[in-house]
Chains A and B, each alone.
Chain A
Amino acid sequence: MSGSIHASPSAEAVGPAIATGPRAAAASPSREAWRRFRKHRLAVVSLFVLAAIVLAIVLGPYVWRFSVSDIDFGATLKGPSWAHPLGTDDLGRDLLARLIFGGKISLAVGLAAMFVAVFVGVVIGAVSGMASGRIDAALMWMTDMFLSLPQLPLLLLLIYLFRPALKEALGPQGGVFLLIVIVIGGLRWMPLARLVRAQFLSIREKEFVEAARALGASRMRLVARHILPNALGPVIVAGTIEVANAIIAESTLSFLGLGFPPDVPSWGRVLFDAKDYLDIAPHWALSAGLAIFLAVLTINFIGDGLRDALDPRRVI
């Protein structure tokens, strides 16, 4: 039974699938990946759920015409009803409208922070993987250093120290957004850098890279055309999961009262406002919490499915 167990039931080896029959041989790599992704049922379901969430966030403001800041003291802390499907908060503001707005912020922060983390991680990992020796050692020492920093306390410290100044310079929404994205991304690139470096170290010794080098390809071309594209699978998987992590990080900051200001209702901020009304208005906290949970869960499942699809050899 040695070697026959994959860590995930829906994962399979790449080798045999490619070599079975003329029909399979004609399949392109992306179609092959899609076929493997579809086998992960929860990932496919998650894809539809997440698509629905994104659609609601993008089209929601045009369909649901309540404003996030319309105060109605006649209807405070009301449970779900036809007028307000998710109920209202302590100032009578419509929760559905606030969650739609918050989703836009949370997803934008998640995606932007992921891009920051992936960019820094890929650059550092690639430089480190190509330049062995002293540069590699120094970069990896720096990566280990960053890994052993206490994440959340440092995140809080940076936000605490720099928020007032950026708020003044770029306005409460833009300044805080920029700060949160850079800080979350800047503290999360380390696993990606290690991943990319490990990929580079193994791929750069492969025969096809050797062949390209023999044909006179420059170092830049080797990296851009031959090594990086082959290292991308695990990076996409890690990047997907990074979006979920960044959403959690942003919600955490807002939940602790150190993220977005009260007039920018991100999901974490709504939860922060709701937590003192748990006994009389549980729908308030529940709707915001479920929104975060659903987004994070579906993104994690999609990441898991992508791992089966793009990175079938290393399944954790």
Chain B
Amino acid sequence: MSRAYIIRRLLLAIPSLLAISLILYTILALAPGDPFGELMTNPNVPPAVAAALRAKFGLDDPIYLRYFHWLAAMLHGDWGFSFASHMDVATLIMQRLPVTLIVLGSAQLLAILVALPVGVLAAAKPYSLFDQVANTLAFIGFSLPTFFTGLLLILIFSVQLGWLPFVFRSDLHTSGLTWWWDEIRQTIMPVAVLGLFQGASLVRYARSSMLDVIKLDYVTTARAKGIGARRVLLKHVVRNGLIPVVTLIAVQMPIVFGGAIITEQIFHVPGIGSLLIDAMLNNDTPVVMGVTFVFACLVILFNLVADLLYVWLDPRIAFR
């Protein structure tokens, strides 16, 4: 992969980032309601003071000027203050982001570890009993909404069996090995819910991608040369069949983030997903905008990774 391609792809990410910031800002500007609405109706604040405040914060400027002000502030890392917790939005988000990334990363890992072997084995013997069972389970898996599986797991493992803790705690009082054990125990359910949902759609995709490759002539040639079935599958089919799957994993990131919001809310994981919901329920607009923007940036980042991985894995793709 040429360096020129990487640079060009990186540069291409900038307009999409700008476009997303524009969309977000337009939505915010179009939304009814005024940040100073309360101030204007408050009889204790003279209208002149309110008007001066409006002018000071540039609320009467034309919309494109306000957009540039907002963008410049975002780029400077000045994301505003949370109404609810009186903290810097950027600090608040940076506090919450690691938990989200850890849960998301482990869930993705689980999804890949479950889905790839199952998908490959199902494709190796199409229509076999294993294939049909795997297919049906995958179908049921992605028809089960994450909020329902989450509640089911809590019901089974926390309420009925009492094996795993009900809610995620960030203030564990243990240390050393017990701390690790407690951390792992409280992460199992959120990761399982997200990972299995993600894995279910990945299984079907991995299977059909493998089937596409098995049909190709070079696989028949490899078989005709007398290479064992196992070796053909692992050395010839899987390596090429995985290319589209790798891309899919990165492209599906927007959906995974959605799942993260739900699971964080169910299990009370203190990540940016639950931060977003709490901010919405508290009418904390600066935090809402900040978190949405972070989600958008993460999605663009993963799309970028997907594109670069794709070109790296498949040299047949021309650099455009």
Q: Does A54 contact B (CB under 8 A)?
A: no
- Most chain B CB inside 10 Å of its own CB: which residue of A156, A162, A279, A300: A156
Q: Does A67 contact B (CB under 8 A)?
A: no
In the assembled complex, the CB of A296 is this many whole angstroms from the nearest CB of chain B, namely 5
Q: How many residues of B contact A (CB 8 A)?
A: 59
Verify A164–B220 contact, CB threshold 8 A.
no
Q: Does B186 contact A (CB under 8 A)?
A: no
Verify A151–B258 contact, CB threshold 8 A.
yes
Q: Which residues of B contact A88 (CB under 8 A)?
A: none
Verify B257–A150 contact, CB threshold 8 A.
yes
Q: Which residues of A contact B292 (CB under 8 A)?
A: 150, 153-154, 157
Q: A149-B299, A161-B27, A256-B262 are known contacts. Are A251 and B147 too (CB-CB below 8 A)?
A: yes
Q: Does B41 contact A (CB under 8 A)?
A: no
Q: Which residues of B contact A157 (CB under 8 A)?
A: 24, 27, 288-289, 292
Q: Which residues of B contact A3 (CB under 8 A)?
A: 215
User: For the complex, what is the distance from the CA of A165 to the CA of B31, rounded to whole Å?
Assistant: 9
Verify B262–A293 contact, CB threshold 8 A.
no
User: For the complex, what is the distance from the CA of A162 to the CA of B280, rounded to whole Å?
Assistant: 12
Mask: chain A, 125-156; 1 = CB below 8 Å from B; 0 = not: 00000000000000000000100111111101
Closest residue of chain B to A298 (Cβ to Cβ) is B143
Q: Does A27 contact B (CB under 8 A)?
A: no
Q: Does A91 contact B (CB under 8 A)?
A: no
Q: A151-B255, A156-B280, A157-B27 are known contacts. Are A292 and B148 too (CB-CB below 8 A)?
A: yes
Q: Does A16 contact B (CB under 8 A)?
A: no
Q: Does B234 contact A (CB under 8 A)?
A: no
- Identify which of residues 176-233 in chain B touch chain A, using a CB-to-CB cut-off of 8 Å: 204-205, 207-208, 211, 214-217, 220
User: For the complex, what is the distance from the CA of A9 to the CA of B205, rounded to whole Å?
Assistant: 16
Verify A161–B147 contact, CB threshold 8 A.
no
| Choice from B19, B143, B151, B255 contacting A275 with Cβ under 8 Å | B151
Closest residue of chain B to A275 (Cβ to Cβ) is B151
In the assembled complex, the CB of A244 is this many whole angstroms from the nearest CB of chain B, namely 7
Q: Does A228 contact B (CB under 8 A)?
A: no
Closest residue of chain A to B257 (Cβ to Cβ) is A150
User: For the complex, what is the distance from the CA of A273 to the CA of B153, rounded to whole Å?
Assistant: 18
Q: Does A42 contact B (CB under 8 A)?
A: yes
Q: A148-B16, A148-B299, A275-B266 are known contacts. Are A293 and B143 too (CB-CB below 8 A)?
A: yes
Mask: chain A, 239-265; 1 = CB below 8 Å from B; 0 = not: 000001000100110011110000000
Q: Which residues of B contact A224 (CB under 8 A)?
A: none
Mask: chain B, 224-257; 1 = CB below 8 Å from A; 0 = not: 0000000000000000000000000000001101
In the assembled complex, the CB of A5 is this many whole angstroms from the nearest CB of chain B, namely 5
Q: Does A282 contact B (CB under 8 A)?
A: yes
Q: Which residues of B contact A5 (CB under 8 A)?
A: 126, 211, 214-215
Q: A157-B292, A301-B139 are known contacts. Are A149 and B147 too (CB-CB below 8 A)?
A: no
User: For the complex, what is the distance from the CA of A154 to the CA of B254, rounded to whole Å?
Assistant: 11
In the assembled complex, the CB of B308 is this many whole angstroms from the nearest CB of chain A, namely 15
7 contacts between A and B (CB under 8 A): A5-B126, A157-B292, A162-B31, A248-B145, A258-B281, A275-B266, A316-B205
17 further contact pairs, Cβ within 8 A, besides A149-B23, A154-B292: A2-B216, A7-B207, A42-B136, A148-B254, A150-B295, A152-B257, A153-B292, A153-B295, A161-B28, A258-B280, A271-B147, A271-B148, A278-B159, A289-B148, A293-B148, A297-B140, A300-B139
Residues of A within 8 A of B (CB): 1-3, 5, 7, 9, 42, 145, 148-154, 156-158, 160-162, 164-165, 244, 248, 251-252, 255-258, 268, 271, 275, 278-279, 282, 285-286, 289, 292-293, 296-297, 300-301, 304, 315-316
